Structure 1
Amino acid sequence: MLDQTGFKEWIHRDLNRLDKLLLTLATFDQPIDLNGIRGRAAEAGWRFPKAWNLSSILGRSNGLAIRVPLGWELTESGKSYLRNLGLTTLSPSAVKVASDLRTHLERIQNPTTRAFAEEAIKCHEAQLYRSAVVMSWIAAVDVLHREVVAHHLAAFNAEAKKVNSKWKDAVNEDGIGLMKEEDFLNRIAGISVIGKNQKDELLKGLKLRNGCGHPNSLQVGPNMVASHLETLLLNVFEKFET
């Protein structure tokens, strides 16, 4: 959530003890012990006074930070608190989308999909917008592939052969992955896995993904990415069992 350069600027501001600790936790992607917290601050040229009881301060944070077996970590409430403090340049709508995605992330059972979705959220929060678009699209396509294999494989293969007589029946996600993604969206719309309007919106998402996945002059901002993520959330992640 916070890189080293930004942390160095923030930690030297006139902030209260809890805020400084939360900012330090925001530089980690995983739980960290007290020595790690002190070490990270020292790397930025600031030392927590020995008189400060870090565990006690964090323990009274009202859920902004929690202690887990591997150490302390920032909660979603803690991240929202820091955003309100001014830590991010994301718009409120973009922050809301990221929060909604994280809520849904807890319900994703497939480890592959979960990993891609979580990385997309992290990219979005870190303002790596092109990466967020690409990773979220990979996660969404993975969901659609598994939905077809689980519930619509025979109909999908029949539809694919109707359009292309040379299509070789797919038996798993890898087989479906041999089809171009635009064709795949058209085929699953043809068998009513998704509706026409959903297909049209997903084709826009595919176009954006292609633009973000290759070197070009395309400019991508937080609101554009938030809209893309919301489209995938509403039309893929929340619609199909993940």
Structure 2
Amino acid sequence: MTVNELIELTADFEHLPQKEQIKLMAWFFCVEHSREYFETKEIKEEFDRQNLVAPAGISSLVPQMRKGKPPVFVNSKKGNSIHRTVKKELEEQYLGTTHKKEVSQSLRDLLGDVKGATQKLFLEEAISCFEIKSYRASIILSWLLTMDILYDFVLIPTNLTTFNQAIQSHGKYKKITISKKEDFSDIKESDFIELLRIARFISNDSRKILDEKLGIRNSCAHPNSILILDYKAIGFIQDLVKNIIKNYQ
């Protein structure tokens, strides 16, 4: 894993205590570069590469962390290394079962935000895909669930009139009148999102979220060389559930 990916897996990295940031950055650096040892200046440079503000006085904090009880770092002629116990704990947290269980549980906690029984089962299937590392499938299913819930929202009689007026205002689909869910297949998803905005069913911020997620979904739906990592799928699912699905049921 890269340093950037590991930082993405760390909650509020920039707000952690300075020594904790240094400990994690040193280990992240060693993981990405398959290194056992590191120099203090390399950790400072890694903060710079990640566009993060480096803790003040790294050169003095690292020796302090070697002298701590228990120590975080060990020094030798080859340089600094991560103390064996600390290294084992971090490997278990980020690369082992502990982190995977925590992530899976955080996603399953989202099921409580979905009201419909069939929709809840659909999200559960998306999460199951994530848990077996089928990240593309989890993203595609989450998107389909979001669209289905938005379609149901539009089909509420009072909303339907407003949406059909938005279609006429938009102009591109003037020959289309929505009366049932199947009718939405005649409208491109990007245009559907814009129509939701015209109808004032979504804010501009929500539109931005949907447009961004549609781009990711499109990348996942076609064979290509793009690598979809776990944190990308986690953010995708959480963002849609918390900001869209939860608000339009």
Normalising by structure 2, we get a TM-score of 0.57
Counterpart mapping for 1:12-27 below 5 A: none
Counterpart mapping for 1:40-79 below 5 A: none
User: Whose helix fraction is larger, Structure 1's or Structure 2's?
Assistant: 2
Quickly say closer, same or farther: Cα 1:110–1:183, change in 2 above 3 A.
Answer: farther
Counterpart selection for 1:162 from 169, 175, 179: 169
Quickly say closer, same or farther: Cα 1:193–1:207, change in 2 above 3 A.
Answer: same
How far does residue 89 in structure 1 lie from its aligned partner after superposition?
A: 5.8
Given that 1:143 and 1:237 are in contact with CA atoms closer than 8 Å, whether structure 2 keeps it comes out as: yes
2:212 is aligned with 1:235: no
Counterpart selection for 1:138 from 136, 139, 144: 144
For residues 192 and 218 of structure 2, what CA distance do their matches in structure 1 show? 15
Letter of the structure 2 residue corresponding to residue 197 of structure 1: D
2:135 is aligned with 1:118: no
Residue 87 of structure 1 corresponds to which residue in structure 2?
Answer: 97
SS at match of 2:247: coil
Given that 1:127 and 1:222 are in contact with CA atoms closer than 8 Å, whether structure 2 keeps it comes out as: yes
Given that 1:160 and 1:167 are in contact with CA atoms closer than 8 Å, whether structure 2 keeps it comes out as: no
Structure with greater Cα Rg: 2
Cα deviations by residue, 1:93-148 (Å, 9 ceiling, x for unpaired): x43541322333xx43252x334222111111221100000000000000000000
For residues 99 and 133 of structure 2, what CA distance do their matches in structure 1 show? 9
How far does residue 168 in structure 1 lie from its aligned partner after superposition?
A: 1.4
For residues 190 and 106 of structure 2, what CA distance do their matches in structure 1 show? 25
2:108 is aligned with 1:99: yes
Given that 1:156 and 1:188 are in contact with CA atoms closer than 8 Å, whether structure 2 keeps it comes out as: yes
RMSD over equivalenced CA pairs, Å: 2.4
Counterpart selection for 1:198 from 193, 197, 206: 206
Residue 197 of structure 2 corresponds to which residue in structure 1?
Answer: 189
SS at match of 1:99: helix
Given that 2:206 and 2:244 are in contact with CA atoms closer than 8 Å, whether structure 1 keeps it comes out as: no
Letter of the structure 2 residue corresponding to residue 196 of structure 1: N
Residue 176 of structure 1 corresponds to which residue in structure 2?
Answer: 184
Counterpart selection for 1:209 from 210, 217, 224: 217
Unaligned segments of structure 1, at least 5 residues: 1-82
For residues 180 and 121 of structure 1, what CA distance do their matches in structure 2 show? 26
For residues 148 and 121 of structure 1, what CA distance do their matches in structure 2 show? 26
SS at match of 1:171: coil
How far does residue 174 in structure 1 lie from its aligned partner after superposition?
A: 1.2
Given that 2:107 and 2:127 are in contact with CA atoms closer than 8 Å, whether structure 1 keeps it comes out as: yes
**Matched residue pairs, number?**
155
Counterpart selection for 2:134 from 128, 131, 141: 128
Cα deviations by residue, 1:166-222 (Å, 9 ceiling, x for unpaired): 331110111123211000000001111110011111111001001001100111111
Normalising by structure 1, we get a TM-score of 0.58
Given that 2:155 and 2:181 are in contact with CA atoms closer than 8 Å, whether structure 1 keeps it comes out as: yes
Residue 149 of structure 1 corresponds to which residue in structure 2?
Answer: 155
Identity %: 25
SS at match of 2:236: helix
